[in-house]
Amino acid sequence: MTTPFTDQNAGVKESIDKFIVDMMVLIGSQKGGAGKSTLAMLLANYLAGNRSQRVALLDLDPQHAIDMIAKKAKVLENEPPYQVWPVDIENFDFVLKRIHQLPVEMIIVDMPAEMINERLRAIIQQAQVIICPFNYDLLTLQPTIQYALLVGKINTNIKQLFIPNRIKSNVTYDTRTDIENILKRLGIVVPALADRIAFQRINTQHTPSTLIPVVNPVLDLIYECYLRK
Amino acid sequence: MINKLDQLRISIPIRQMFAKCYLIEQNRICFLYTRNEFSYEYETAVGRNHEVPLSGLFVVAFCNLPRLVMQVYLFCTGLEMLCFCNLRPDVLNNQINVAFVALGLCPDQQDIKQLRTRYPFANFNCVFGNDLLGKVLDCKVAMWYHDRDLSTLCDGTTVIFKYENKVIRLNADRVSLDIFKRTMRLKTNIKTLKPAGGFISFLAKHQ
């Protein structure tokens, strides 16, 4: 017969085991202004809203832009669909342990726009998927390739998805096929996200309806093929 | 690294006009928000980093007699205030009559109540974001100005406004103070100012 004390411990252990996170998805790029934070919010909104996933969004970018939007979103008084955690790289492990004690199924990490260092290396090793937004210009290509090569070396099991971001429908990109062919050797190139002014208006509680037809088909595909267990 | 005002190309006359209201130290610009007599918070901006308090008041008035102030412009951040004045220098034509107030990211009813008492003869102008959050804040400030509390909820596609027993639902993409006023039958002279060209804020227009 077990004592009440042991029973209590067993309950705690069970609850921790129950809340093992299914997946960690990184949104990363070496280049600033690629659209990482926007994409992280879009994905979090989609997973929480359309797929009823329990999401935690870790804002690792030193600007903490997502955290600022989440704070602004407090003007809407309902319970936010997911929690945003502004995190400094030094505290990442501590926050991750805390999240592992919560009922979270999916962790999305908005990575800082910088070269991969030791601390980022440790984060990449723990992730299952990395999504890298890029544009069809040669300036973006080199850092994207460098970043992808390093990520592939650090974590050989990680799925690397490249997402052409803010693509203008009225522009012909001469470099499109060449760039896609190079990136296909390193990972998977998913369909492009077309440029819309409403991307600026995303917040942690709402994705503007004009973006839904642009964004959801791409996110449906990503979820069904690469995120769904 | 250049300071934020250089980065945003804020004009020299505007800098001179607001020079006493902010501090620049090692390229970090700093605005002081007061919460009460004893409590302060800072808005700081350096490089691409920008930190803003949740609430508090950062007030810029060029006249010591609040009763002379006829126009009050409300912002979420001090940087937004400078960008707005840079793009709309006409609002500074009669400096005695204007006051500029940054309220932080998530203002509360008490701040508006306090401002209304301080500036009893002023018209209030909301210069918040040109997005859902900014527009919901416009509606809240309008209600707070008339000493009414307003609760706002969003279910992803609809925003639900609750005031006492009255509940109105607006499509999240169509929320605006104008529609809210008409639906709520609220009579107010509070105005909103949004940047032209689809920009989310006057700060974004400057970047």
Facing A75 at nearest CB: one of B133, B173, B204:
B133
Split at pLDDT 50, 70, 90, the class of A143 is confident
Contacts of B105 in chain A (CB under 8 A): 68, 71-72, 74
- Partner-chain residue, chosen from B105, B152, B199, that has the shortest CB–CB distance to A68: B105
> pLDDT digits over A156-207, tens only?
999 999 999 888 877 777 788 888 888 898 999 999 888 888 888 899 999 9
How many other CB atoms are found less than 10 A from the CB of residue A4? 7
Question: Of B133, B151, B159, which to mutate for an interface test with A (greatest number of A Cβ within 10 Å)?
Answer: B133
Helix (H, G, I), strand (E, B) or coil at A194: strand
Domain extent listing, chain B:
4-132+188-206
3-state secondary structure (DSSP) of residue B63:
coil
pLDDT computed for residue A229 by the predictor: 72
All residues at 6 or more sequence positions from B122 whose CB lies less than 8 Å from its CB, including other chains? B69, B70, B71, B72, B99
Backbone angles phi, psi at A40, to 5 degrees: -60, -45
pLDDT band at B1 (very low <50, low <70, confident <90, very high): low
Question: For position A12, what pLDDT does the model report?
Answer: 43
- CB-nearest to A201 from B48, B76, B200 is B200
Q: How confident is the model at residue B169 (pLDDT cuts 50, 70, 90)?
A: very high
Can you give the pLDDT at residue B139? Answer: 95
Q: In the numeric block, which tokens belong to residue B207?
A: 């970047």
Residue of A nearest to B48 (CA): A63
Q: Average pLDDT, stretch A117-129?
A: 89
ipTM of the complex: 0.89
Stated pTM of the model: 0.87
pLDDT of A16 strictly over 90? no
- Average pLDDT of chain A is 85
Q: Provide the angle, in degrees to the nearest 10, between the axes of the packed helices B177-184 and B132-145.
A: 40
For residue B66, the distance in angstroms to the closest alpha carbon of chain A comes to 28
- For residues A35-41, give the mean pLDDT: 93
**Would you say residue A1 has pLDDT above 70?**
no
